[in-house]
Amino acid sequence: MANVAVIGAQWGDEGKGKIVDWLAERADVVVRFQGGHNAGHTLVIGDKVYKLSLLPSGIVRGTPSVIGNGVVLDPWALKAEVEKLRDQGVDVTPDTLKIADTCPLILPFHRDLDALREDASGAGKIGTTRRGIGPAYEDKVGRRAIRVCDLANLDAIGPQVDRLAAHHDALRAGFGQPPIDREGLLNELRDIAGFVLPFVQPVWKMLNEARSRGRRILFEGAQGVLLDIDHGTYPFVTSSNTVSGTAASGSGMGPGAVGFVLGIAKAYTTRVGSGPFPSEQENEIGERLGTRGHEFGTVTGRKRRCGWLDAVLLRQSVAVSGITGIALTKLDVLDGFDEIQVCTGYRLRGEVLDYYPASAPDQAAVEPMYETMEGWSESTFGARSWAELPAQAIKYIRRVEELIQCPVALVSTSPEREDTILVRDPFAD
């Protein structure tokens, strides 16, 4: 049986939470391998709605869940999320949640710096969630991060605090802010350490042992490929690699452990925040997609920008992330459109491109080329088999497969976990 990595194939918000929840019932372990609490996964189980930011989606069903070393961890956000779930009847314990001892911590001054930079950027705003994720990753790469394992040895981290302060005090002074309160920081860490430490262990060891016993491992990505720090629409990206290769490095397992790569994509396209969006529809069509799809960010609450499916960008995501199959979500949102368009290429200064260029000026200048398909009037909402889909909806799916050069493995037709059409079983490969 294959392990499965689930990643967003667009700009995030593709419906990964439902798909991971659907798969988690058959997995033995679920692993978050990158990002922070800027991610937003919504699970609908019966009459309850769970909104997760940091915890792996498997936690709601009691599937053993892991926060891997590739994640940056805000311990106070973790505690708040655990307590919120407890209020909803889900008890998170050290038996169900494991946290990598090498996760870098998001600290209060990371959040401060994130907001100060964004406010000072004017027209250059990236659209950060202001939660400190970027500055925490910078400190990780700069070798000055305080990590989860340090919570057990706070009396010995003076040199690390010195490195942090040397960097951040200068930045804070530039924004007219006082230096880091070192003793205050240490007191906050002492207060939270007792909550975090029972969950902590070398998860790379646990995961490799699980693999050697033939356990099914489900890797859960955050954000989407188009927000990848290397392969996304830079600089309007997140601060981590969101491609499937990070499942290996962000969990402490080799690349051979990843297995089937399931890319999640909406039947149309959305984006939250700033950045290029070639197929965006700033018109009645975009409003209709947004209204029918309830398009608001799980974490930020911001209204999502909406447009037609961009097959060029999706094909690019398939290539750079080694996607084996696509889970196509929110097909029902397209119900009732007389015509549906799909972006199949771009024009750039008279030249036709079958890929999205890297430079910002070129990205701003491309003009989308569309293929128009006949829509369908019948409802696909809640469909659980091909036989329940209108012929035109099936034709749309098949054409998307051709354009993105990747098969559709799952089709989701509502937020309910059971309203899913299984075409190809990721765990069986």
Amino acid present at 176: G
Given 13, 74, 112, 150, the catalytic residue: 13
Give start and end residues of each alpha helix (H) in 89-143: 108-120, 133-141
Would you call the peptide bond into 235 cis, given omega within 30 degrees of 0 as the criterion?
yes
> How far is residue 66's CA from residue 204's CA, in Å, rounded to a whole number?
10
**Whether 13 is catalytic:** yes
Euclidean distance between the first and the last CA atom of the chain, given in angstroms as a whole number: 6
> How far is residue 414's CA from residue 293's CA, in Å, rounded to a whole number?
10
Question: How long, in residues, is the chain?
Answer: 429
**Whether 41 is catalytic:** yes
Taking a C-beta distance cutoff of 8 angstroms, is the pair 223, 12 a contact?
yes
User: Which of 409, 402, 407, 401 has the alpha carbon at shortest distance from 425?
Assistant: 409
Given 21, 28, 37, 41, the catalytic residue: 41
User: Which of 194, 138, 195 has the alpha carbon at shortest distance from 171?
Assistant: 138
Where is 41: in which H helix or E strand?
strand 41-45
Taking a C-beta distance cutoff of 8 angstroms, is the pair 8, 250 a contact?
no
> How far is residue 420's CA from residue 405's CA, in Å, rounded to a whole number?
22
β-strands 4-8, 260-266 pairing:
parallel
Where is 264: in which H helix or E strand?
strand 260-266
* Joined tokens for residue 193: 């350490």
Catalytic residue ranges: 13, 41
